[in-house]
Amino acid sequence: MSLEELAVVRQLLAGLVTEEARSLEDFRTSYDEAGKAFGLPEGVTVTPVSAGGVPSEWLAPAAGAGKRVLLYLHGGGYALGSLDSHRHLAAHIALALNGRVLLIDYRRSPEHPFPAAVDDAVASYRWLIETGVDPATLAVAGDSAGGGLTVATLLAARDAGLRLPAAAVCISPWANLENKGTSYDEKANVDPMVRHADLEVWTSAYLGTSTPPRTPLASPVYADLKGLPPFMIQVGSSEVLLSDSHLLADRLKEAGVFADLHVWPDMIHVWHWFAPVLSEGRAAIGEMAGFLNTKLG
């Protein structure tokens, strides 16, 4: 990361993460506007679609996409994030993969608490299968809360008897809603994207008072992970959530699932999101696409 790129990223974050009291709608608006401000890379088409009743968008190379398909689940603590906040990231992934990316707008908490996000993600996945997408050419990926949701979606699809995709990618996954791990303290002052206090707020909004944090589809590190497809997990060494990635990778391997954990030196939470201004973000997207190219038909 160059000094110039780092300065740009920190300037962007200064408008998103502050100590002052802000409403949920303020957070949502800031996140969406920052995502839209990046714009889209050239050569991408955007097509709105209802994916099993879930508002979604197809993003694909304008020159024509290959047969590979990625279901993408945005981050935002289950309370933030939308098509607007993550459209640019999904577009970059579509170009790198030379395939179609389905970005879905799943229901958010606290208006729609657990398991609404899981239900919507599974509905979209089922819709892909029912509309003719071959699971051998299909992958699921997501960042932060969307990373945990990626695992939960595969668990729910497995238990529903659906054919599973060929691969999955978790970017900086939030996979343990107990919010425990050594990195929660050790990285508290080096990750400008995520604070422990914020995670507690999002957890309460998502789980309410009746759902235990160790519920498997909320905290998939406590689930039976047997039978899931191969995973790549990307995380930055400066992340508060670094412990989640290590724990998830260990749990996948214990279940006999292939898990390639790549810790990127000095990177912050979901640095891919800054791909338009951050070379490491573009490189990580390229690495993700390379992994998927080895797993998808």
| Residues tagged active-site | 144, 239, 269
Residues whose CB is less than 8 angstroms from the CB of residue 126 and which lie 6 or more positions away in sequence, other chains included: 52, 157, 160, 162
**Helix, strand, coil percent content, the chain, rounded in steps of 5:** 45, 15, 40
Give dist(CA 176, CA 86) in Å, integer.
23
Amino acid at 32: D
Residues whose CB is less than 8 angstroms from the CB of residue 176 and which lie 6 or more positions away in sequence, other chains included: 213, 219, 221, 222, 243, 244, 247, 248
Residues whose CB is less than 8 angstroms from the CB of residue 118 and which lie 6 or more positions away in sequence, other chains included: 149, 152, 153, 156, 217
Q: Which of 144, 289, 287, 278 is nearest to 202 (CA)?
A: 144
Give dist(CA 121, CA 104) in Å, integer.
8
